[in-house]
Amino acid sequence: MSIFHESVLYKEVLEGLNVKPGEIYVDATLGGGGHAKGILDLGGKVIGIDTDPDAINFVKKTIKSKDLSLEEGNFAELDAILKRHNISKVSGVLFDLGASSYQLSKEERGFSFRASAPLDMRMNPEQTVTAADLVNGLNEGELYELFTKLGEERNARRIARAVVRSRLKERIKTTLQLASIIEASVGRSKQKIHPATRVFLALRVAVNDELNNLKKVLPKAERLLKHKGRLAVISFHSLEDRIVKNFIKESKQLLEVNEKPIVPTREELEKNIRARSAKLRIAEKIGNPAHESFKEKYRRKKEEICF
């Protein structure tokens, strides 16, 4: 389970959260607890949330701290989780979106097509719908829409048609079955990524309702932040990043700390290939404005100070 330790943009996240001793921070996507451990080492207190029981059990065994509280659950229920801890405000909330390195490496979880495994993709094994259910149950039009909207797959129509034809012969049960169907339908291009990559992304996002959960939780995180509290979000594809970017832009209380998203250094990319598409956005809660111009005035004041 050591693969759990690969925390993306570790240093940048800790700096971005501006961790202060004794303050409370939420790691809403705990994973192996790498970011949470960093916050604890800086003197912060952490509420760690993860929908995957493997992550919770791993962190229980590896991080021993009275300042760490663990919650197995979906981060979309952030407000209810904090209410159970009698916490109304926090100094920072972190989201490291997508599947963890651990989930991707565990063949039986069905997130990857590197080996033959059940077509599962559930982050929470107690969920009822799997990727196989979608692949075998949706009609051609629904598959096309799913692959297009959630995977931004240019060959969605051809792939959807190939999937429907293949499942008439036999149910599509494994990751390699699906990957082979996709490759046979569109061929291999000169690009480095496998032709099944975007389809697998779309299925994972759909199975775990990732985009809707992100849309639900961002307003909750904003409300729960203290004045000058920080929101940090690591995304791995454009759909996630667009949601975060637009939310911060449209918010009357959040001001993006960095003009552009933070991306991994060359050194990090050499050590951790999972970081290659990561983007980190950090925003600070600037108060409780009485009108819309408050945020723009605050921005101009900050620019004047920087100048």
Instruction: Supply the DSSP string of 176-234, one letter for each residue.
Output: HHHHHHHHHHH---SSSS-TTHHHHHHHHHHHTTHHHHHHHHHHHHHHHEEEEEEEEEE
Cα distances from 203 to residues 120, 149, 164, 269, in angstroms, run 9, 11, 15, 26
The answer to the question of residue 29 being in a domain is yes
Is it the case that residue 1 has pLDDT exceeding 50? no
Q: Distance between CA 185 and CA 62 in Å, rounded?
A: 45
Mean pLDDT of the chain: 90
Weakest-pLDDT range from 189-193, 198-202, 205-209, 288-292: 288-292
Asked whether residue 93 falls in the same domain as residue 219, the answer is yes
Q: Give the pLDDT of residue 287.
A: 67
* Number of structural domains in the chain: 2
Is it the case that residue 17 has pLDDT exceeding 70? yes
Asked whether residue 33 falls in the same domain as residue 177, the answer is no
Residue 230 burial (CB count, 10 A):
23
35-54 confidence digits (pLDDT tens): 999 999 999 999 999 999 99
Cα distances from 96 to residues 220, 253, 260, in angstroms, run 16, 22, 18
Asked whether residue 177 falls in the same domain as residue 52, the answer is no
Residue after which a domain boundary falls, among 176, 207, 238: 207
Structure tokens at 38: 């960093």
Structure tokens at 42: 């800086």
111-142 confidence digits (pLDDT tens): 888 889 999 999 999 999 999 999 999 999 99
Q: Which pLDDT band holds residue 307 (cuts at 50, 70, 90)?
A: very low
Is it the case that residue 156 has pLDDT exceeding 50? yes
Chain Cα centroid distance, residue 161: 30
Structure tokens at 125: 């094994």
Residue after which a domain boundary falls, among 207, 238, 261: 207
Side chain identity at residue 64, one-letter code: K
274-302 burial code (b ≥16 CB/10 A, e <16) = bbeebbbbbbbbbeeeeeeeebeebeeee
Is it the case that residue 56 has pLDDT exceeding 50? yes
302 Cβ neighbours under 8 A, 6+ residues apart:
255
Weakest-pLDDT range from 71-80, 104-113, 271-280: 104-113
Q: Which pLDDT band holds residue 106 (cuts at 50, 70, 90)?
A: confident
CA dihedral of residues 274, 93, 28, 135 (deg, nearest 10)? -60
Q: Give the pLDDT of residue 113.
A: 85
Rg of the chain over Cα atoms, rounded to whole angstroms, equals 20
Average pLDDT, integer, range 224-233: 98
The answer to the question of residue 120 being in a domain is no
Residue 89 burial (CB count, 10 A):
14
Asked whether residue 201 falls in the same domain as residue 218, the answer is no
Asked whether residue 95 falls in the same domain as residue 25, the answer is yes
Q: Mark residue 113 as left, alpha or beta (left: phi above 0; alpha: psi -120 to 50; beta: remaining).
A: alpha
Residue 115 burial (CB count, 10 A):
10
Q: Give the pLDDT of residue 290.
A: 44
Q: Which pLDDT band holds residue 289 (cuts at 50, 70, 90)?
A: low
Q: In this structure, what CATH number is given to the domain that contains residue 236? A: 3.40.50.150
Sheet holding 24-27, edge to edge: 68-72, 45-50, 24-27, 90-96, 225-235, 279-285, 254-256
Is it the case that residue 184 has pLDDT exceeding 90? yes
Q: In this structure, what CATH number is given to the domain that contains residue 181? A: 1.10.150.170
Q: Give the pLDDT of residue 9.
A: 95
Structure tokens at 253: 């209380």
Weakest-pLDDT range from 63-72, 191-200, 256-265: 191-200
Q: Distance between CA 113 and CA 115 in Å, rounded?
A: 5
125 Cβ neighbours under 8 A, 6+ residues apart:
52, 53
Q: Give the pLDDT of residue 261.
A: 96
Q: Give the pLDDT of residue 103.
A: 76
Is it the case that residue 23 has pLDDT exceeding 50? yes
The boundaries of the domain holding residue 26 are 2-101+210-306
